[in-house]
Homo-oligomer: A and B are copies of this chain.
Amino acid sequence: MTEGVPNMDKKDKKDNKDLVTLEIPARPEFLGLVRAVVAAAANVESDFRDDRDEDLRLAVSEATTNAIEAHQLIGLDNRISVQAAMSDDRIEVVVRDQGPGFDPAALEAMPEPGTPERLFFENGLGIPLMRELADESDISSSSDGTTVRLVIYTRRYL
């Protein structure tokens, strides 16, 4: 049930200079705040291209939306944590929730676009999109919660 193990705590201890942590109530009203914070944090000392700012905002918003949904699903009042670690050429964002967890490997594949079945899928777009936008992404999930780690570079190298 683990796809890569994000480990920012260790890094945190070695070098806590460019680390911004945000905790928000698990409510969708705070999504815009999360987007604003990661975009601002990214650009404090580096210069992210506009398209990368947008990739960052969207990828982090997807991860945070899922975290909020996870808490709401089990009626958990705890807050969601978003941590951003900045270095010259990238930002690494870790979104943590204490929801019920899930198995990322077992997510249903989407039906082909342009088929009638596709129309029944109003959901399930978030994680594929997040993975597409981020240069690196790991999801680590257990019954204690889920941690999503996303890395976005200042420029698109692909």
Binding site for B on A (CB under 8 A): 16-25, 27, 29-30, 32-33, 36-37, 40-41, 44-45, 77-79
Tell me which residues across on chain B come within 8 A of A37, comparing CB atoms.
Answer: 22, 33, 36-37
Are A23 and B20 in touch, CB under 8 angstroms? yes
| 10 A-B pairs with the lowest CB-CB distances in the bound complex, closest first | A21-B23, A33-B40, A29-B44, A17-B25, A22-B22, A20-B24, A36-B40, A18-B25, A37-B37, A30-B44
Residues of B with C-beta under 8 A to A16: 25, 77-79
Cα of A40 to Cα of B29 in the assembled complex, Å? 11
- The distance in angstroms between the C-alpha atoms of A25 and B86, with both chains bound, is 11
Number of copies: 2
A18: nearest residue on chain B (CB-CB)?
B25
Closest partner residue, chain B, to A79 (CB atom): B16
Whether the Cβ atoms of B25 and A33 lie closer than 8 Å is: no
- Chain B residue nearest in CB terms to A15: B77
Q: Which residues of B are found within 8 Å of A36, using beta-carbon distances? A: 36-37, 40
